[in-house]
Amino acid sequence: MRTSLVQKWPRNSFLRNPQLDWQNIYSANANPSLGGEAVYVLYDDVVSDSKFTANLNGNFQWNPNIKVNFGIMNRYLTSKNFAEVDDLLGAEFHTDIDPFSDTRNDLDSNLEKKQGDVFGYNYEFQANELRAYSQISADLNKWKFFLAGQFNRKAYQRTGKFQNERFPDNSLGASRNITFSNFGVKGGLTHAITGRHWVTMQGAFIKRAPLLQNVFVNPRESNAIVPNLRTENVSTLDVNYFLRLPNLTGRITGYYTRFQDLTDINFFFVDSGVGSDFVQEVLTDLDKLHPGTELGLEYQVSSTVKLSLVSSIGKYVYASDPSVTINFDTASAEEELINVQGFKDLGTAKIKGYKLGQECTTSLCLRHGI
């Protein structure tokens, strides 16, 4: 009897106090004055990815102490992105109009959308990556080292399936092909002081393409590309000390990583003294700095009791004052536009030295095995 009550109570409580007032939603959609048009609609944001990857790897032993690895990889991505009507919630159709600008999302299709129809936005991403690498490693008794290098080429393109009324000349069809050719180098060194004490050091300098989601200003609506798009640079170094005693093992790490020339895009609605609009905020020339330390210790108190300590301290900050621009559509004459060009340069954001999130954590764990 108690089990039955426990199972029924949450369900009955949820039915009595739902998060949504479904009756009002269906009543609003059934309003005769709307002629079957939906006030509310349930829809899915669909992302359908198709990937193809091919790898070829090889290695050979130069001599008993030196080994060489090499390889090549090709990856191709097609990503379909669209909104699909899932449930009209009692209505007969949804009108495919942008609520912010009162303009059509697609000039070439029926304005009235039924269940299962694509609406709002419809586009594809194509991304192609070619990467080749080689690495040489050596084991010289107490000393070990490796040196690796890679070449990377990425190409991005957007293909719009809708002709958006807000961007009629730059939304339908394929964008120009955006390509990045970059390289990276990485090296590491290990020295065994004794069999119980050893140190390692690793460093890398990597040039890489921006993330696909940071290449196009607003891919749901147009082919517009972020202006002054740059290759990102990553410089990193870490030093580690390892300890292995009969009852105590541990590791101490110090690391330093700098990210340069990053791009970041944010979406939000602006209602301010310069005007009102749904905008895309684009940050370029953004640098971040991640220095920190980590400590891990494990002590065998007895054959059944083990004590573990883990601690990390990191100071993550912005390391530059990035350039800020906002982009928006100018389709609706009724809006209080920020300006008629659809683009505004806000200059630089004075955020250098501001914290991204300073991490300081410590964990103590006691484990007992029976």
pLDDT tens for each residue of 58-104: 999 999 999 999 999 999 999 999 999 999 999 999 999 988 788 99
- Nearest Cα to 324, choosing from 305, 346, 344? 346
Task: Say if 16 falls within a structural domain.
Answer: no
Task: Say if 231 falls within a structural domain.
Answer: yes
pLDDT one-digit tens code per residue, 307-354: 998 999 999 999 999 999 888 766 654 555 555 566 788 899 999 999
* 271-276: long-range contacts, CB 8 A cutoff, minimum separation 24: 274/338, 274/344, 275/335, 275/336, 275/337, 275/338, 275/339, 276/335, 276/336, 276/338
Task: Say if 15 falls within a structural domain.
Answer: no
Task: Say if 7 falls within a structural domain.
Answer: no
Task: Say if 2 falls within a structural domain.
Answer: no
Q: Which two tokens stand for residue 296?
A: 């891990």
The answer to whether residues 94 and 113 touch, using CB atoms and an 8 Å cutoff, is: yes
CA 296 to chain centre: 29
Q: Tell me which residue range forms the domain holding 79.
A: 35-368
Q: What's the structural domain count of the chain? A: 1
Task: Say if 29 falls within a structural domain.
Answer: no
Task: Say if 251 falls within a structural domain.
Answer: yes
Task: Say if 307 falls within a structural domain.
Answer: yes
Regions of the chain short of the pLDDT cut 70:
1-15, 271-277, 329-342, 358-359, 368-370
Q: Which two tokens stand for residue 312?
A: 């990390």
